[in-house]
Chains A and B, each alone.
Chain A
Amino acid sequence: MPQSTKPRPLPTSIDETLSLLAAADYLADRSLATVLYLALRMGRPLFLEGEAGVGKTEIAKVLASTLGRRLIRLQCYEGLDVAAAVYEWNYGAQMIAIRIAEAEGEGDRDRLTHDVFSERYLIKRPLLQALEPDPAGAPVLLIDELDRSDEAFEAFLLEVLADFQVTVPELGTVKAARPPIVVITSNRTREIHDALKRRCLYHWVGYPSAERELEIVRAKVPGIGKALSEQVVQFVQALRKEDLFKAPGVAETLDWASALSELDVVALDPATVSDTLGVLLKYQDDIARLEGGKVKELLDEVRVDLRAAE
């Protein structure tokens, strides 16, 4: 994240949102720009769902860096609780403070409690951090892979997202002066409850079209040749049409493109593809499916398509 951050204004139109993302090499469809613009404008959380590796998390990162905001990330996991997500008291330090006070003969109980339960001993976790005022503007709060947490946490999140406030019993209620920009992502390993989705603007992030993916590859893998990038994208697009257990995402395309460009490959051939298939496909069944001439078949198709396009 760049250090010299100044508060930058939010985009004022859909086109501006689109160019803002493009400036950070995130090439988005207009539909995504629309929902993002609305989320920023209406101050609503953005709920992004889609297959792994289509750039959901990346949106929050790009947003933070282009707007010059702080990125606060909360990675969800099963059993995530308030102590890990919101706040925790620094019990060790509190104990020491009590001991010192006792040694000094401090007898006033009220004062001691007041001292011990002060912000100094509060460990702030992501959700509480996101509510704090920031000179650079409200931070970007990324709640990543919400589907990994359990329903109990989801229910708690409802409260936070509705009012942007949390209550610490010993301290009182902390309310955000300006609500953070919230981005929630989910891989759909389970359904998120409608009550939570209702509060958000929903968007399904799908696989990009061939042209869009080509632009992305060329933007993200600068050294790649024209012919290779075209072949890579066409091959991946063809692969997604196959009956695979897990189709490769954009992240895999980029990995593959940079792997091939590191290997100084100029054009795809069946042997290279078979050798590097592990970058694209992550299930043994899927790799097995492509064995025995299937790769060559797909490559021939890709070549014919590309020749036809010329």
Chain B
Amino acid sequence: MPEASEGRLAENILYFARALRAAGIPVGPGAVLDALAAVEAAGVGTREDFYWTLHAVFVKRHEHSVLFDQAFRIFFRKRGYLDRLLATMMPQVPLPMEKEQKPALQRIQDALFSNVGEREQPKPEVEIDARLTVSDREVLQKKDFAQMSAAEIAAAKEAIRKLVLPLDERRTRRLAPDRHGHIIDIRRTLRASMKAGGAFIDLKYLGPKTKAPPIVALLDISGSMSQYTRVFLHFLHALTDVRRRVSTFLFGTRLTNVTRSLKARDPDEALAACSANVADWSGGTRIASSLHSFNKAWGRRVLGEGAIVLLITDGLERDGDATLEFEIDRLHRSCRRLIWLNPLLRFDRFEAKARGIRTMLPHVDEFRAIHNLDSMAQLARTLSDTTSRGADPRAWLKKVA
């Protein structure tokens, strides 16, 4: 702010950075120094310039823009913003609310004033938000994950270690030294022949490098899947731990990206972070609209480099219609391999009768069961067994017809 003196400004930027960090924007100490340098370089004149100067330094992802915007508004209120901030830290004062709740506002306020609520009232875990109960049976529950036992984690880890996903390797366009390669690596050849003064030229070859393709998991967390979700999340966490390029999305009535949450090393931490992010645990399913938002917002960002998609759902769709077929087809066409994991397949007499299942089946490459919920080992075996019965989705369609 123009009227603030130099020392005050530096202090404020420091506090502002802290608030941003609490709101979930990763701001390192280096960024604070950058911000000071930037403000100095820009020679702040107007509020707008000041805003965009800080924005340039602190925001490194498009999604963070909205958080930054809200934080900036709250933090740098024109008159007496600092006093106000301090005042609101006191538990008695009601939080400054705007008429219409903007999506990020709650998160920012949580961040700025988090210590208030937490210390005051360790509330029960279940919180039902009455404002948003518009959609059909969307149960806005923050579900508490019971802690998984150490033995279970150990078994899961063990299973994952042995896990080999079907078609695991994909040729990339990058070259690597290869004894049986097809391209002469002149750089290495000449360097090697220099050792002998150039007397021999022993040809070295390059071949294509192979690499594990990225995995994108779409996990159904609706009510009908609730018994399975926890185990699957552990599975996905372990997968994220072993392979770097795994993106995980949860969907019930809406789509949530939990990739970052699952990156936490500790599974409990990761699952807790997951459940904190998701609003529609154990509600209804809207596969079509969830796939639509995935295709639109994420499809082109995470399906590159020959990704494998694991679609984990029972396929019991509420609004099964033409849009579902359209969206699953689009998903199928934008990834290299689409594997549908359906827990219902564990029943011996399963038949592809439900409308959602019949719509989706022709568009998946593989249709696999997840038989046993108790052991992750079973799941891993099912996944790696490329010849297991039922992998071909068409077989299921024929069986009914």
Contacts and interface: CB of A to CB of B under 8 A. Distances in A.
Given A38-B57, A47-B60, 15 more contacts: A35-B55, A38-B53, A41-B41, A42-B37, A49-B62, A83-B187, A109-B197, A188-B62, A188-B300, A188-B301, A190-B304, A194-B60, A198-B28, A202-B61, A245-B296
Nearest to B27: A198
A204 B56 CA distance: 10
B36 to A, nearest CB: 11
B190 A91 contact: yes
Contact of B56 (A34, A152, A243, A285): A34
A15 B288 CA distance: 48
A14 B302 contact: no
B175 interface: yes
A99 to B, nearest CB: 10
A111 to B, nearest CB: 13
Contacts of B174: 78-79, 81, 150, 152
A80 B330 CA distance: 29
A81 B209 CA distance: 13
B49 A38 contact: no
Contacts of A13: 43
Interface in B285-305: 295-296, 300-302, 304-305
A189 B296 contact: no
Interface in B189-214: 190, 194, 197-198
B308 to A, nearest CB: 15
Nearest to B65: A204
A78 B38 contact: no
Contact of B175 (A14, A37, A79, A243): A79
B56 to A, nearest CB: 4
A81 B175 contact: yes
Secondary structure call for the B interface? helix
Most buried by B among A49, A201, A285: A201
A94 interface: yes
Nearest to A46: B56
Contacts of A243: 296
Interface in A133-165: 147, 150, 152
Interface string B133-175: 0000000000000000000000000000000000000001111
Contacts of B236: none
Interface string A188-212: 1111001001100111100000000
Most buried by B among A14, A194, A245: A14
19 contacts: A30-B49, A34-B49, A34-B52, A38-B56, A42-B34, A49-B62, A78-B173, A81-B175, A113-B194, A150-B305, A188-B300, A189-B301, A190-B301, A190-B302, A198-B31, A202-B56, A202-B59, A203-B56, A243-B296
Classify chain A's interface size: 35 or more
Contact of B52 (A30, A94, A113, A190): A30
A39 B42 CA distance: 10
Nearest to B298: A188
Contacts of A189: 300-301, 304
B190 A37 contact: no
Interface string A94-117: 100010000000000100010000
Contacts, number: 96
Contacts of B31: 198
B38 A42 contact: yes
Nearest to A12: B43
A31 interface: yes
Contacts of B305: 78, 150, 190
B52 A35 contact: yes
Nearest to A51: B300
Interface residues of B, number: 41
Given A83-B187, A150-B305, A190-B302, A35 B296 contact: no
A78 B174 CA distance: 7
Nearest to B292: A243
A79 B173 contact: yes
Contacts of A285: 326, 330
B65 A35 contact: no
Interface of B: 26, 28, 30-31, 34, 37-38, 41-43, 48-49, 52-53, 55-57, 59-62, 65, 172-175, 186-187, 190, 194, 197-198, 295-296, 300-302, 304-305, 326, 330
B197 A78 contact: no
A31 B55 contact: yes
A190 B246 CA distance: 12
A37 B49 CA distance: 11
Interface in A152-192: 152, 188-191
A245 B42 CA distance: 38
A91 B172 CA distance: 26
A201 B194 CA distance: 44
Contacts of B197: 109
Nearest to B302: A190
A49 B64 CA distance: 13
A34 B56 CA distance: 8
Nearest to B201: A95
Interface in A1-36: 13-14, 30-31, 34-35
Nearest to A35: B56
A38 B300 contact: no
Nearest 5 interchain pairs by C-beta: A79-B173, A34-B52, A35-B56, A79-B174, A197-B60
Contacts of B186: 89, 91
A14 B53 CA distance: 10
Nearest to B247: A191
Contacts of A91: 186-187, 190
Interface string A235-272: 00000000101000000000000000000000000000
Most buried by B among A42, A88, A91, A98: A42
Contacts of B43: 13
Most buried by B among A152, A197, A204: A204
B190 A38 contact: no
